[in-house]
Amino acid sequence: MEMNHPSPRNPLDENRHGHMGRPLDRVDGPVKVTGAAPYAYEVHEAPARPAYGFIVEASIARGRVRAIDAEAARAAPGVLLVMTHENAPRQAPPGPLSLADRFSRSNPYLDDAMVPHYGEPVAFVVAESFEQARHASLLVRVDYEAVPGAYRLQEHLAEEERPAEDKHPESGEGDFDGAFREAPVKVDVQYTTPVHIHAQMEPHAALAWWEGDRVIIHCSTQMLESAQKRVAHTLQIPEEKVRVVSRYIGGGFGGKLPVWADVILSALASRELQRPVKTALTRQQMFHVTSHRSDTVQHLQLGARPDGTLTALSHRAWSHSAREDDYIEPVCTATRSLYAAPNRQTRQRRVRLDLPVADSCRSPGEAVGMTALECAMDELAHTLAIDPVQLRVRNEPHEDPEKHVPFSTRQLVPCLEEGARRFGWEQRNARPAQVREGRFLVGMGMASASRGNLLQQARCKVTLQGDGVLVVRMSMTDIGTGSYTVFTQIAAEMLGLPLSQVRVEIGDSDFPPTRGSGGSFGAASAGSALYMACENLRIKLAQSAGIDPAQAEFGDGHVRGSGKGAALARLASAEGIEAEGEIQPGEMDKQFSQQSYGAFFAEVAVDIDSGEVRLRRMLGVFAAGRILNEKTARSQLLGGMIWGVGIALHEEAAIDERYGFFVNHDIAEYHVPVHADIPAIDAIMLPEVDDKANPLKIKGLGELGISGAAAAVANAVFNATGVRVRDFPITLDKLLPHLPD
């Protein structure tokens, strides 16, 4: 099915069995909390005892390997193989960059002597135990020829590149320059955000073995189809000769959209040794062997009338990519549709640096782009002495201001108003640095939330077995967001089955393909394919019972209608009955602008002696289509808000230019919010269905909770202190010199 028309009323709307929206506990919860869920490094399906791999990273910032001595490592106890560029199996060259799915591009390792960045694998040691492999890795001696490199974005802005058109580098409407020049009120500011690290709980890990000429890989990846293609392209084997399994993932956040050296090197070594090989990256290795979010420089210019109506809006952004990559952080995405302004421009530019690959990380684009935009809007509100909520309401567009198409749904204003009411926004003192409690300055801030809604092609197969159990199969993944649970709810509601009679099997590339988890499109895409499969199964079952499918009603394990009825298990018989479903994006995506929306409100206290910032309370109000599971949805939104606090106050990967590496490359020094940083925060979801989005009428919300959250905290800091910090994160050294006496 292509999404070419609004979705009509369907069984999920009727919700006769009450599964939709129900705050169901995660169906995979028990196996996870008891330790029975096998993550990639813990899988026991290998046909023989696996050997252990350990990666040796380059210790220079840029250059080449002049010579490498691995003899001592090869002679170490338990060592089975030491692979370097001198003896690694031949692989396909990197890329090509023209391949639309960048995660399926060939990505070879140890294919030459070049070192593009610190941490690039220069050797791979395989031994009988992890300890032996790690010990032997320390015996590998590498002689390097280092060359100068570029590592700081702000120092190389003059080397900017305009990305290709498919990266949507710029947009424009009207005459921005003229309108900004004539605007009675102006805001002209620059914001910067640093490199962010994904910091997943589960490290990247892989277990690989070969069955004849076919490789089986258990790994931690969000997108199985892309992983399958990347392995096939890199190893130069047919795709059907690669099976990728990823049943449980301990956090992805974009860092596990592609597969990395642990997967490729384990597969290569396993083929050489004819034995399973497993590899896990250490926490420190994850900072350089995998990806990160680019740092950004953002120039915001807002022109307005005295009543707050925007007449001119400009958002120009720079972000970095790896030297040989073409990724660009989509910083300006939300700016293009969030507020009305007749004269507008956005521009995104890339700067190539000699750092590891920068790529998608926890709401790419909006997480940092909306941080700057929503802070700039707060600056405009302060300049005009207009309430920040009212400023946003006054600039509400009646259509997408750049695409000039209607919004599928848009509840930004209701989110703003409901959030203000619940938070007690009217109690805010608009004058900064006026509220003091003991040694603490107290302030409130707010920001809008917006995140684009996507639908991707997906397929699903459902099988009703003779015992009455419905089995769901597709190559979708669950990165901790609740995929197992919401798919169980959809299938149970469609077939009128108890939840206990639905078994969801995902995370295997041998199952019908989906795009996996990413970009907040997972539930909508894979869930819609599941919906279509269940709809086709309903038709088959009704016809088998001699019932007109249009009159069929499903419930209690039966189908009834037209005076007839039958048990589903009897209709399935011993052989079972199957159906498949597919979803593809269509005209709805072109005819309507589709976003999820929300509003954040935060209160902070700033210690006037130390400059320490403490979040006191935070509220998010969101509209994201139909909510499949109130508990898992709220969990995702709260998690996003916590990441927003991290962006505002904690997260920053510090670069040492001498060696081109991130100094704070562990969780002890790379600061993320912990329990002491997060008080009782809350997320509220407004009722909404979006029949233009997909058959489920849902919207993605996994990243919505991040998009703008940092700005609400930053704006609260300004309201508390009168100090506007435009270089994130807001640390005490940036506040303390400017605090009032």
Longest dimension (CA), the chain: 83
Q: How far apart are CA 167 and CA 608, in angstroms?
A: 45
Residue of 636, 630, 616, 722 lying closest to 677 (CA atoms): 616
Residue carrying structure tokens 């390097």: 144
Residue 225 falls in the annotated catalytic set: no
Helix (H) or strand (E) holding 535: helix 522-544
Contact 524, 7 (CB under 8 A): no
For residue 704, give the 3-state DSSP assignment.
coil
Q: How far apart are CA 449 and CA 411, in angstroms?
A: 11
Could you count the other beta carbons within 10 Å of the beta carbon of residue 424?
13
Q: How far apart are CA 418 and CA 682, in angstroms?
A: 13
- Report CA dihedral (480, 485, 486, 489) to the nearest 10 degrees: 180
Q: Which two tokens stand for residue 516?
A: 């996996």
Q: How many helices (H) and strands (E) does the chain have?
A: 18, 30
Q: How far apart are CA 14 and CA 43, in angstroms?
A: 41
SS3 content of the chain, % helix, strand, coil (to 5): 30, 25, 45
Taking each helix axis from N to C end, the angle separating 630-649 and 709-721, rounded to the nearest 10 degrees, works out to 50
Q: How far apart are CA 71 and CA 87, in angstroms?
A: 13
HSE-up (13 A, CA, CB side) for residue 723: 22
HSE-up (13 A, CA, CB side) for residue 243: 14
> Could you tell me the sign of the dihedral formed by the alpha carbons of 362, 366, 371, 374, in that order?
negative
Residue of 134, 265, 282, 131 lying closest to 203 (CA atoms): 282
Residue of 362, 415, 382 lying closest to 716 (CA atoms): 382
601 DSSP assignment: E
Q: Which two tokens stand for residue 468?
A: 């009455």
HSE-up (13 A, CA, CB side) for residue 430: 13
Contact 314, 87 (CB under 8 A): no
Q: How far apart are CA 31 and CA 395, in angstroms?
A: 49
Q: Is 616 exposed, middle or buried (0-12, 13-18, 19+ CB in 10 A)?
A: middle
Residue numbers annotated as active site: 703
